Amino acid sequence: MSQQFENVSVLKQANVYFDGKCVSHTVILQDGTRKSVGVILPSALVFNTGAPEIMEIIAGKCSVKLKGETEARVYGAGESFNVPGDSSFDIEALETLHYVCHFG
C-alpha cells in the first residue's frame, strides 16, 4: 500500500463532520477522480452514503456495521470495507482512525 498519493490536487479547505470527530481533505487525481483522506477520532458515528464508497483503513481500528447487517466487524490497517450507495453504516473508531475514502 502506497503511503501517499502522487501528482494530485488537494483542496485547502477541509470537510468537518460531527463537530470535528471526522475531518477529511479532498484529493483529486489527474483523471478527475475524487477521494478523501481523513481521520475519525474515537467515537461512534453513523454515516450516510450517496455514491458507493470503499473505506480503506490506513491506521487505527474501527468496528463497522453496514445497514441491514446484524453483526459489526472490526477493521484495521490495510483492510477495507465497501458501502453501497444510498445506504448508511455505523462506525465506531476504537482508536484514532486514518482512512482513505474511494467513491463511486
Residue 31 interacting with a copy of itself (CB under 8 A): no
- Per the CB < 8 A criterion, the answer to whether 24 and 39 are in contact is yes
Q: Which of 17, 25, 79, 84 binds a copy of itself (CB under 8 A)?
A: 25
Residue 27 interacting with a copy of itself (CB under 8 A): yes
| Closer residue to a copy of itself (CB): 7 or 70 | 7
- Per the CB < 8 A criterion, the answer to whether 90 and 72 are in contact is yes
Residue 41 interacting with a copy of itself (CB under 8 A): yes
Stretch that binds a copy of itself, among 15-23, 47-55, 62-70, 82-90 (CB under 8 A): 15-23
d(CA 88, CA 102): 15
> Burial code of 3-24, b = ≥16 C-beta within 10 A, e = fewer?
eeeeeeeeeeeeeeeeeeebbb
Query: Where do we find the cell 503511503?
Result: 3
Stretch that binds a copy of itself, among 24-32, 45-53, 66-74, 79-87 (CB under 8 A): 24-32
Residue 55 interacting with a copy of itself (CB under 8 A): no
Q: How many chain residues bind a copy of itself (CB under 8 A)?
A: 30
